[in-house]
Amino acid sequence: MATLAGMQKSPKNGISEQTVDMSFTSKAVPAFIDKVNSHSLTQVLDLGPVCSENINILAHLIKRLYVCDMFSHLARAKKRGLESEPWWQQMDYPSETFDGILLWDLPDRLTDGDANEAGRRCYDMLKPGGMVMACAATETETNTGVNAYVLQKDFRVTFRVQPHLHLPLHTRKTRDLLDVLDPLKSVQSFLFRNRLREFLLKKE
């Protein structure tokens, strides 16, 4: 089975190992943008690793794009030995601020308790009817390297290794993932041949 680890093999003896093409065309991201872009003052929060391509694509489609790099924040806290501090305080936006939140695979980097806190925070920050886009690596993924999900104009997604980010990996079965993101409700989900899963969740 193809795994995200396939993207991260480094050359041995000067010979590059064959890497698995893990790219795929996102179905959740265009659906997410279509759903949140119902008015001219749309506000969306991106919690994923900072990525120039994503900012340029999303900021041209959405009126106000908020970027709060929680991956970087978590990695910095871990590096400083501040893992026990309430990391979610960084997500200090007022209630009902956003039409949508791009969570990416942040839950994969959080314990059940923290992922549940992230779900509750997202729920609080979303306007009624607001959407969350989340994704998750295959349940059997073992490589803990962090990747940015890099968007192309046609919503093709490629992976780019973020060597400066070192975070633990907590893969979950779909049912468990949706449980920890409660009270957000899953409205659509997609499974790709690279075993990556995408989810659209909603604040009802």
Strand order in the sheet with 197-202: 43-46, 98-104, 126-136, 197-202, 185-191
Tell whether residue 61 is a contact of other proteins (CB under 8 A): yes
Q: Residue 76, Cα to own-chain centre: how many angstroms? A: 18
Q: Which residue has the tokens 């695979």?
A: 105
> Which DSSP helix (H) or strand (E) runs through 131?
strand 126-136
Cis check: omega of the bond before 183, within 30 degrees of 0: yes
Q: Residue 72, Cα to own-chain centre: how many angstroms? A: 13
Tell whether residue 27 is a contact of other proteins (CB under 8 A): yes
Using CB under 8 A, pick the residue from 3, 4, 72, 106 that binds other proteins: 72
For 83, what's the count of Cα atoms within 13 Å in the CB-facing half-sphere?
11
> Which DSSP helix (H) or strand (E) runs through 60?
helix 52-61
Query: Cβ closer to other proteins: 51 or 122?
Result: 51
Tell whether residue 30 is a contact of other proteins (CB under 8 A): yes
Nearest to 8, CA basis, from 165, 184, 144: 144
Distance in Å, CB of 55 to other proteins, minimum: 6
Q: Which residue has the tokens 């400083």?
A: 80
Tell whether residue 35 is a contact of other proteins (CB under 8 A): yes
Tell whether residue 2 is a contact of other proteins (CB under 8 A): no
Distance in Å, CB of 12 to other proteins, minimum: 24
Each residue 142-161 as x (binds other proteins by CB under 8 A) or -, in order, gives ------x------x----x-
Query: Cβ closer to other proteins: 13 or 89?
Result: 89
Using CB under 8 A, pick the residue from 7, 22, 51, 157 that binds other proteins: 51
Tell whether residue 84 is a contact of other proteins (CB under 8 A): no
Nearest to 146, CA basis, from 2, 7, 19: 7
Distance in Å, CB of 13 to other proteins, minimum: 28
Tell whether residue 55 is a contact of other proteins (CB under 8 A): yes
Query: Cβ closer to other proteins: 9 or 173?
Result: 173
Strands (DSSP E) contained in 80-184 are 98-104, 126-136, 145-151, 156-166
- Interface ranges with other proteins (CB under 8 A): 27, 30-31, 33-35, 37, 42, 49-52, 55-56, 59-69, 72-73, 76, 90, 148, 155, 160, 162, 164, 173-175, 178, 185-193
